[in-house]
Amino acid sequence: MDLDVFVSAHRAEWERLDTLLGRRRRLTGAEADELVTLYQRTATHLSLIQSSAPDPQLTGRLSQLVARARSAVTGARRASWRDVTRFLTRGFPAAVYRSRHWWVPTALLSIVVAALLGWWIGSHPDVQSAIAAPSELRELTRPGGEYETYYSSHPAASFAAQVWTNNAEAAAICLVMGVFLGLPVLWILLLNMLNLGVGIGLMSSAGRLDTFLGLVLPHGLLELTAVFVAAGTGLRLGWTLIDPGPRTRRTALAEEGRAAIGMAIGLALVLFVSGAIEGFVTPSGLPTWGRIAIGIAAEAAFLTYVYVLGGRAVREGESGDVEAAERSATLPTAA
């Protein structure tokens, strides 16, 4: 194809399309029909140029023109309350439910690791001395020490916001970085369980494990569940790269990746709740049993939400992916 001749033959159509796009809010009916026709022709022209005589400058110009025309013809879709409702009642719980075979074992194994680390640290004074000096350990674990004052050392609102930000960031990293074969996810899990195990070990060696659990359980049940869900889903995403199943690797990663991004939004809401509990309930004057009861209620509510709404949605064909109309085509389409 002679590119110069092709450009000369169709330049007027491209310029006319550009003119119509510049005044698209004031088009007559005939001009609107003309815009649609020119959009279709220009898309075909772009396809021909890309396949026969690719020219970077011309391709870039026509790509921009076609994108503007597509936006004018199809219109920009705006999110609605229907989308929010669908996400909260079907998409998010379905995605979490579908990943349960990954995050439930992840949770159980992680808790075992934290408990073993806590036992090892608590029963070996030499390990404790390697963590900090004896005077520092006493300051950490004594009544009114740093483990207890940590939750009340800042105003509740700012503390809750800080906790939420940190946990949401960790969950998002687990979800996104799972594509690197899950290695960053395992590292984040190890760090979290190591921190928990150190607390268990040091406070149990001081005879104050009940105090530690009374401080951690109210918010920690829901918080750790969200982290385990993110980690399990990240590991599942990494495994999809290795074994995509009957789907092509590209299609499998696209589907699971979109669901994971949606889960990041949902888990941010879950972590907001756990952050509020940590900021307002954990340091409150409520009795220990009352604070723990709130944590158990929040955890039970989340699991019921996932297994009831999510299970029902999955049985009805929901996968946690975006709606079909919002997905990119998986096969080439005609220009």
- Taking the C-alpha atoms of residue 311 and residue 331, their distance in angstroms, rounded to an integer, is 31
Q: What is the pLDDT of residues 296-333, one digit of tens each?
A: 999 999 999 999 999 999 999 887 765 554 554 444 33
DSSP assignment string, 126-186 = HHHHHHS-HHHHHHHHSTTSHHHHGGGSS-HHHHHHHHHHHHHHHHHHHHHHTTTTTHHHH
Report the range out of 28-32, 91-95, 165-169, 236-240 with the highest average pLDDT: 91-95
pTM: 0.70
Q: What is the pLDDT of residues 150-177, one digit of tens each?
A: 766 656 566 566 666 777 777 777 777 7
More confident residue, 279 or 78: 279
More confident residue, 123 or 59: 123
Going by C-alpha positions, the residue among 124, 302, 326, 166 that lies closest to residue 229 is 302
What confidence tier does 291 reach under pLDDT thresholds 50, 70, 90? very high
In the predicted model, is pLDDT for residue 283 greater than 90? no
- Taking the C-alpha atoms of residue 134 and residue 121, their distance in angstroms, rounded to an integer, is 14
Residue 115 pLDDT:
94
Cβ contact 292:217 at 8 Å: yes
Residue 21 pLDDT:
85
In the predicted model, is pLDDT for residue 103 greater than 60? yes
- Name the DSSP letter for residue 317: T
Tokens 């074994």 map to which residue?
243
Residue 329 pLDDT:
43
Residue 22 pLDDT:
83
Share of the chain above pLDDT 90, in %: 26
Query: Average pLDDT for residues 263-275, to the nearest whole number?
Result: 89
What confidence tier does 255 reach under pLDDT thresholds 50, 70, 90? confident
- Taking the C-alpha atoms of residue 80 and residue 92, their distance in angstroms, rounded to an integer, is 16
Q: What is the pLDDT of residues 22-42, one digit of tens each?
A: 876 777 888 888 888 988 888
Residue 248 pLDDT:
81
- Name the DSSP letter for residue 1: -
- Taking the C-alpha atoms of residue 44 and residue 169, their distance in angstroms, rounded to an integer, is 44
Going by C-alpha positions, the residue among 202, 219, 96, 218 that lies closest to residue 163 is 219
Residue 105: φ, ψ to 5°: -60, -35
- Taking the C-alpha atoms of residue 150 and residue 268, their distance in angstroms, rounded to an integer, is 23
Q: Which residues of 218-232 are buried (b: 16+ CB within 10 A; e: fewer)?
A: bbbbbbbbbbbbbbb
- Taking the C-alpha atoms of residue 160 and residue 296, their distance in angstroms, rounded to an integer, is 19
CA angle, residues 230, 231, 236, in degrees to nearest 5: 100
Query: Average pLDDT for residues 8-26, to the nearest whole number?
Result: 84
Amino acid at the residue 70: R
Residue 321: φ, ψ to 5°: -75, 165
DSSP assignment string, 46-105 = HHHHHHHS--HHHHHHHHHHHHHHHHHHH------HHHHHHIIIIIHHHHHHHTHHHHHH
Expressed in percent and rounded to 5, the helix, strand and coil fractions of the chain are 80, 0, 20
Residue 323 pLDDT:
57
Strand (E) positions, 167-257? Answer: none
Radius of gyration of the chain (CA): 28
Residue 78 pLDDT:
57
Report how far apart, in Å, the C-alpha atoms of 201 and of each of 95, 122, 206, 263 are: 35, 4, 9, 33
In the predicted model, is pLDDT for residue 335 greater than 70? no
Dihedral angle over CA of 228, 229, 233, 239, nearest 10: 40
More confident residue, 141 or 50: 141
